[in-house]
Chains A and B, each alone.
Chain A
Amino acid sequence: MSHDYLILTLFLAIALVFPVVPLVMAWLWARFFSPAKPGHDKQAIYECGLESKGPARIQFRAQYYLYALVFLVFDVETVFLLPFAAMGFVQISPASFLAILVFLFLLLEGLVWAWAKGILEWK
């Protein structure tokens, strides 16, 4: 009979105690010590200490996401090119060179496509 998982159960119990105890204490404090005095300022939305302005439900432009996707072209390129370049000091076979060129070509085509489609222009 092993108790490999006993430590996990203990951990779970302690992990539950940490959030629950402050919550209970806060509730008790509010129940017995602090008087309820709701007011306009007290119930205002807290936004970094400033007065909140406008509704919170705004729409983001789809263009943000398109930019993020185009950024991914360069991001992925870096991730794959770096180990390739590092390996280059040791040796690069013609086949692997060709393979990485094809890969670069595909990413480049994505960029050209996005550019020609006018995604890079902020409207």
Chain B
Amino acid sequence: MNPAFQLFKYLTPESFLAETAFFVLIAGLVRATASRRTMLLSLTLLGGLASIAWIWIHPESINICHGMAVIDPLTRFVKIVIVALSLVACVYAASSNVREHLAEYLALILFSTIGMMLLVSAEDLLMIFIGLEMTSIPLYLLTGYLKRSAASAEAALKYFLFGSVAAAFLLFGLSLIYGVTGSTSLQALAQMPRSTASDPLFLTGVALALAGFGFKVAAAPFHLWAPDVYEGAPTPSAALIASGSKVAGFLILAKFLTLGFAKAGGSAIWSLLQPGWLPLLAVIAAASVIVGNLAALSQSNVKRILAYSAIAQSGYMLLGLLATGNKGLSAVLFYVIVYALTTLGAFGVVGIVEARRGGAQLHHFDGLHRSAPGLALCMGVFMISLAGIPPLAGFFGKFYLFAGALGSVSSLDGSLGLLWVLLIAVAFNAVSLYYYLIVLKHVFVVPAPDAATAVPQPRSAAGFCVGLLAVAILGLGLYPPLLLNPIYSAIHGAARAAAKAASVQP
């Protein structure tokens, strides 16, 4: 078959989203009526659900043009998750303070989602870069969408400048990798000789690329944009940046490192440190956990608390990447999906409170449990899950991550393995409990200042989504295999598909 047609056929879910975005743009031109928001939202949801349904009913695996787009059970699973997360962000947008140009806002969310979908199915350095840019550029616009708000403009400018520099680092790193190895395909890179893997120029390239990815997942020391962006951006944009973009970023980082550069890992074990990306990742993880948790302590804005918490959570997820292999990957995937659901829910609550009380400072949450008990309960579930307390999903996610990182090296001769970085993570997780509970203190303990600004129980689609997410977090905490089993089968299916492709090719 003509490769162009083949590409079109297998990227149908992405095409669905693109077509939906163009439809929504045109539909947004009709005269403003009361039902226009509902019409735009249902159009978007329809397109997104069609895309999910298409992915669901087409289970074939294929590798187009040597890794330009790889469709296998793993990428299909993650694509479904990403589209679902974006659709929730769309629902938030329809009931948020984005009043003008809603159609363009929804279209930009869809464009960014297409970028994420291309990103997760890429196994080629060039495609990874293009996917990252396609994800980021709509996100910059979404951040600066409140054009009358100075904070939003400032956030967008910071995000854009940081993002451009990070993209430059990434590109420079990728060019060095290409220069040394002569290939851009991750599968070809995996077969490089061991002497290449210890080439200083090659390791420099990997380190520079890590800086670029570090920006995307908001890991310290590349995290400086996150607090301002989360605070200044419209809440649905912040929710998308914290959820969908993070899932895509972590999957591609895991693919990039474990698929292409397994040989250049080195060792992060304290007594036998060896150059490679593992020690680098361990340091970034430890720095993120420390910086994120400590800086969150002194924040008074819930969005900023969520931003610093996101930095700390990135650190935990990077720990999971240290445990190379399928076990580590499944732990990271479980955790990043649970984290995305939780933070999406938390941003939903923040958005509802912000719309009613005009801010997301801690005191805006005072006495929430009186006027909106359901909303307060959901916020409790999200915060406690983020802190990692059983029986919520966040606890099991952290447990799998830490157990995976600990177990990956325990077979070695009596060394303490990754214990040094794990100890930091566990200790600072205890610190994190403080600021999560401070939020809950304002929600449940501090009385509301007056009844005039009470937040009524929301009856909107956003409130429904928040409730659904809380139930999901509770369900995944009580019965983790609900998510773990699909992840396992997706990862094994992907491995089988890759093995089959390898046996056919030569």
- Residues on A facing B (Cβ under 8 Å): 95, 99, 106, 109, 112-113, 116-117
Residue of A nearest to B22 (CB): A109
Residue of A nearest to B23 (CB): A109
Interface pair B22/A106, CB less than 8 Å apart: yes
Q: Which residues of B contact A116 (CB under 8 A)?
A: 29
Nearest Cβ distance between residue B15 and chain A, in whole angstroms? Answer: 11
Nearest Cβ distance between residue B11 and chain A, in whole angstroms? Answer: 14
Interface pair A95/B25, CB less than 8 Å apart: no
In the bound complex, how far is the Cα of B4 from the Cα of A59, in angstroms? Answer: 46
- A-B pairs with beta carbons under 8 A, tally: 14
Q: Which residues of B contact A109 (CB under 8 A)?
A: 22, 25-26
Residue of B nearest to A109 (CB): B22
Annotate B11-30 by CB proximity to A: 1 below 8 A, 0 otherwise: 00000000000100110010
B35 at the interface (CB under 8 A from A): no
In the bound complex, how far is the Cα of B26 from the Cα of A109, in angstroms? Answer: 8
Q: Which residues of A contact B22 (CB under 8 A)?
A: 106, 109
A95 in contact with B29 given A106-B22, A109-B22 (CB within 8 Å): no
Nearest Cβ distance between residue A46 and chain B, in whole angstroms? Answer: 33
Q: Which residues of B contact A117 (CB under 8 A)?
A: 29
In the bound complex, how far is the Cα of B4 from the Cα of A47, in angstroms? Answer: 56
Q: Which residues of A contact B29 (CB under 8 A)?
A: 113, 116-117
In the bound complex, how far is the Cα of B22 from the Cα of A106, in angstroms? Answer: 8
Q: Which residues of A contact B25 (CB under 8 A)?
A: 109, 113
B6 at the interface (CB under 8 A from A): no
Q: Which residues of A contact B26 (CB under 8 A)?
A: 109, 112-113
- Residues on B facing A (Cβ under 8 Å): 2, 4-5, 22, 25-26, 29
Q: Could you list some 14 contacts between A and B, CB below 8 A?
A: A95-B2, A95-B4, A95-B5, A99-B4, A106-B22, A109-B22, A109-B25, A109-B26, A112-B26, A113-B25, A113-B26, A113-B29, A116-B29, A117-B29
In the bound complex, how far is the Cα of B401 from the Cα of A39, in angstroms? Answer: 74
In the bound complex, how far is the Cα of B336 from the Cα of A58, in angstroms? Answer: 48
In the bound complex, how far is the Cα of B22 from the Cα of A108, in angstroms? Answer: 11
In the bound complex, how far is the Cα of B2 from the Cα of A117, in angstroms? Answer: 39
* New A-B pairs, 11, CB < 8 Å, besides A95-B5, A99-B4, A106-B22: A95-B2, A95-B4, A109-B22, A109-B25, A109-B26, A112-B26, A113-B25, A113-B26, A113-B29, A116-B29, A117-B29
Nearest Cβ distance between residue B28 and chain A, in whole angstroms? Answer: 9
In the bound complex, how far is the Cα of B22 from the Cα of A87, in angstroms? Answer: 29
Nearest Cβ distance between residue B319 and chain A, in whole angstroms? Answer: 44
In the bound complex, how far is the Cα of B29 from the Cα of A106, in angstroms? Answer: 16
Nearest Cβ distance between residue A66 and chain B, in whole angstroms? Answer: 13
Nearest Cβ distance between residue A63 and chain B, in whole angstroms? Answer: 14
In the bound complex, how far is the Cα of B350 from the Cα of A37, in angstroms? Answer: 65
In the bound complex, how far is the Cα of B22 from the Cα of A95, in angstroms? Answer: 22
Determine which residue in A112, A113, A116, A117 has the highest number of CB atoms from chain B within 10 A of its CB, and name it.
A113
Nearest Cβ distance between residue A122 and chain B, in whole angstroms? Answer: 20
In the bound complex, how far is the Cα of B2 from the Cα of A112, in angstroms? Answer: 33
In the bound complex, how far is the Cα of B26 from the Cα of A95, in angstroms? Answer: 26
Q: Which residues of B contact A113 (CB under 8 A)?
A: 25-26, 29
Nearest Cβ distance between residue B141 and chain A, in whole angstroms? Answer: 13
In the bound complex, how far is the Cα of B3 from the Cα of A90, in angstroms? Answer: 23
In the bound complex, how far is the Cα of B12 from the Cα of A66, in angstroms? Answer: 32
In the bound complex, how far is the Cα of B3 from the Cα of A95, in angstroms? Answer: 12
In the bound complex, how far is the Cα of B1 from the Cα of A95, in angstroms? Answer: 13
Residue of B nearest to A96 (CB): B4
Q: Which residues of A contact B2 (CB under 8 A)?
A: 95
Q: Which residues of B contact A95 (CB under 8 A)?
A: 2, 4-5
Nearest Cβ distance between residue B18 and chain A, in whole angstroms? Answer: 9
Nearest Cβ distance between residue A74 and chain B, in whole angstroms? Answer: 19
Q: Which residues of B contact A99 (CB under 8 A)?
A: 4
In the bound complex, how far is the Cα of B25 from the Cα of A64, in angstroms? Answer: 23
In the bound complex, how far is the Cα of B5 from the Cα of A99, in angstroms? Answer: 11
Q: Nearest 7 CB-CB pairs, A to B?
A: A116-B29, A113-B25, A109-B22, A109-B26, A113-B29, A113-B26, A109-B25
In the bound complex, how far is the Cα of B26 from the Cα of A113, in angstroms? Answer: 7
In the bound complex, how far is the Cα of B23 from the Cα of A112, in angstroms? Answer: 13
Residue of B nearest to A115 (CB): B29
Residue of A nearest to B103 (CB): A113
In the bound complex, how far is the Cα of B26 from the Cα of A108, in angstroms? Answer: 12
Q: Which residues of A contact B4 (CB under 8 A)?
A: 95, 99
Nearest Cβ distance between residue A53 and chain B, in whole angstroms? Answer: 30
In the bound complex, how far is the Cα of B25 from the Cα of A116, in angstroms? Answer: 11
Nearest Cβ distance between residue A108 and chain B, in whole angstroms? Answer: 11
Nearest Cβ distance between residue B2 and chain A, in whole angstroms? Answer: 7
In the bound complex, how far is the Cα of B408 from the Cα of A15, in angstroms? Answer: 58
In the bound complex, how far is the Cα of B107 from the Cα of A109, in angstroms? Answer: 14
In the bound complex, how far is the Cα of B101 from the Cα of A117, in angstroms? Answer: 10
Nearest Cβ distance between residue B134 and chain A, in whole angstroms? Answer: 15
In the bound complex, how far is the Cα of B4 from the Cα of A106, in angstroms? Answer: 18
Q: Which residues of B contact A106 (CB under 8 A)?
A: 22
In the bound complex, how far is the Cα of B107 from the Cα of A106, in angstroms? Answer: 14
Nearest Cβ distance between residue B29 and chain A, in whole angstroms? Answer: 4
In the bound complex, how far is the Cα of B21 from the Cα of A109, in angstroms? Answer: 12
Residue of B nearest to A116 (CB): B29
Residue of B nearest to A99 (CB): B4
In the bound complex, how far is the Cα of B4 from the Cα of A117, in angstroms? Answer: 34
Nearest Cβ distance between residue A33 and chain B, in whole angstroms? Answer: 47
In the bound complex, how far is the Cα of B2 from the Cα of A16, in angstroms? Answer: 56
In the bound complex, how far is the Cα of B29 from the Cα of A113, in angstroms? Answer: 7
